[in-house]
Amino acid sequence: MLIRFFDIIFSFLALICLLPLFLPIFLVLRFSGEGYIFYYQRRVGKGGKLFSLLKFATMLKNSPSIGAGEITLKNDPRVLPLGKFLRKTKINELPQIYNILRGDISIVGPRPMVPNTFQKYSKEAQTALNKVKPGLTGVGSIIFRDEEKFLEGKSNPQEFYEDCIIPYKNDLEIWFTKNASLKTYFTIIFLTAWVIFFSSSRLPHQLLIGLPVLPVELK
C-alpha cells in the first residue's frame, strides 16, 4: 500500500511537471513521421493479466511485423527521426505515467513483457513475475539501458537475444521479486536517473547487493 501511495504521488507530480515537455512532442509527432502520437502494446501484467502499455510513437506502425520484429537494433531503420532522440533519452517511456496512475504498473518493477517474450522465461521466473506489478523502470531497465549495444554486430540478433539476454534478464527479475522493498524501490529510482548520465557506471552492482553477475557473453 505504501509503494502504491508513492506511485500515485510521484506520477501525478511528474505529469504536471512534464506537461510543458509533452506538448511540443505531441505537435511534432502529429505533424511528422506517420502522424500518430502514441503507441499501444499489449503487455503481461500482475497475475498474467494483459494490459495496453502506452509509449510515444518512435517507430513505423507495423514495425513488429518487419525487420527484427520485437527487438530493436542500433540504427534500426524502422525508428522515426524524432524517435531516435526519444528512445535515447527514454522520453518515449514517459506516457506510461498514465499506466502508473491506472494501477497497471508501478514506478519500479520488472519491465512488462509482450506475451511472446514472457513465454520464453523460465517457469520459476513466470511464477515470480506474476506476483508483482511490472514497472516503468527496474533492475532490467538499468542494466539493459542501451540494449541495442549488446546486439550490435551479432549475425543473428534474435538468437543472441533469446540465448544470452533473456536468461540474464530472467535471473535479474527473479532477484528483484526476492528483494522487492521500499529501500529497493527508492534505490532503483535513484539508479535510473544515475545511469542516464553515467551509462557505464558499476554503481548498480554496488548498491543492489547480490545482483546476478553479468555473463561473459554480455561483457
CA distance 72 to 61: 14
Q: What is the pLDDT of residue 48?
A: 94
- Is pLDDT larger for residue 88 or for residue 211? 211
Average pLDDT, stretch 76-101?
86
Check: CB of residue 25 under 8 Å from CB of residue 91: yes
Cβ neighbors of 147 (< 8 A, separation 6 or more) are 71, 72, 165
pTM: 0.84
Q: What is the pLDDT of residue 66?
A: 57
The pLDDT tens digits of the residues spanning 189-201 come to 999 999 988 888 8
| DSSP calls for 36-84 | --EEEEEEE-GGG-EEEEEEE--B-TTGGGSTTTTS--TT-TTB-HHHH
Average pLDDT, stretch 211-216?
89
Average pLDDT, stretch 148-157?
81
pLDDT-based confidence at residue 217 (cuts at 50, 70, 90)? confident
Check: CB of residue 184 under 8 Å from CB of residue 136: no
The pLDDT tens digits of the residues spanning 7-64 come to 999 999 999 999 999 999 999 888 877 778 898 999 999 999 999 999 998 877 766 5
Q: What is the pLDDT of residue 150?
A: 81
Task: Please state the φ and ψ torsions of residue 127, each to the nearest 5 degrees.
Answer: -65, -45
Task: Please state the φ and ψ torsions of residue 56, each to the nearest 5 degrees.
Answer: -70, 145
